[in-house]
Amino acid sequence: MPVNINGYNKIKEQLQPFAATLIAVSKTKPAEDILAMYELGQRDFAENYVQELTGKYESLPKDIHWHFIGHLQTNKVKYIASFVHLIHGVDSEKLLIEINKQAAKVNRTIPCLLQVYISKDETKFGFDEKELEAVLQKISNNPSLFSSIKITGLMGMATFTEDNALIESEFAHLKKIFDQVKIKYRNSSIELTEISMGMSADYMFALPQGATMIRIGSLLFGERNYKPS
Ligand SMILES: *Cc1c(COP(=O)(O)O)cnc(C)c1O
């Protein structure tokens, strides 16, 4: 299936008033589809599976920014630490510690977004507000323990629903949490600038609520054969 060039141009246009970045979610899609988007000027791509990401990283142009948006297992961090541009879904302190360790080994500082649980779907991951506060507090109190990661923002996923008002309120909730913690930790090593929220079905609700990154897969590359994890 060819990539949706009209869809790409339309989304780029819709993004303009919002100063948000389009992340093209290329999971399950072949390298040729990614190259077609690359030819249009797209440089930010996201993957959910470590093995698939490392394979694509090796075979595709090196100026691509590779985002990891899946549920990252601690034992797989080492495979992506040398090149990953941003890890969106960090949802435990244990994972953060492992990312820090692997980043140090390759002399990098890896930018990370903390995933916040904002939806009603039990299959989704993320910190609740209390846990988020606890992990941010720990990082700000112990910067030397986390010197090879940088928390640059928050990520969230809305409920999978037709109820647009619910989706909007969940994105607004994430923005509110973001504004609170951004101020609270502004004098620490934590400098929050990014809110990664919005996918093909709901990015139009995420943009007005303050998304700085939207993660779009099927609208650009067509439907996938298996469900996103
Ligand atoms: C798959 C996936 C997306 C993209 O989903 P689409 O509905 O195809 O746009 C965005 N974010 C995450 C975390 C995903 O897993």
Distance 133 CA to ligand 1 centre (A): 26
Ligand 1 contacts CB of residue 25 (under 6 A): yes
Tell me the C-alpha distance between 49 and 27, whole Å. Answer: 7
Decide: helix, strand or coil at residue 217: coil
For 168-190, what is the mean pLDDT?
95
Which is more confidently placed, 121 or 160?
Answer: 160
Instruction: Kindly report, residue by residue over 18-73, the tens digit of the pLDDT.
Output: 989 999 999 999 999 999 999 999 999 999 999 999 999 999 999 999 999 999 99
- The whole-number pLDDT of residue 1 equals 63
- The enclosing H or E element of 152 equals strand 149-156
- Ligand 1: atom nearest CA of 216 is 9
| Whether pLDDT at 227 is above 80 | no
Distance 196 CA to ligand 1 centre (A): 11
- Ligand 1: atom nearest CA of 27 is 1
Q: Are 27 and 46 in contact (CB under 8 A)?
A: yes
Decide: pTM greater than 0.85: yes
Instruction: Kindly report, residue by residue over 125-139, the tens digit of the pLDDT.
Output: 899 999 999 999 999
How does residue 229 score in pLDDT terms, banded at 50, 70 and 90? very low
CA dihedral 73, 77, 83, 85 (to 10 degrees): 50
207 alpha-carbon distance from chain centroid:
15
Task: Name the average pLDDT for the chain.
Answer: 95
If you take atom 13 of ligand 1, which residue's CA is the nearest one? 69
Ligand 1 contacts CB of residue 215 (under 6 A): yes
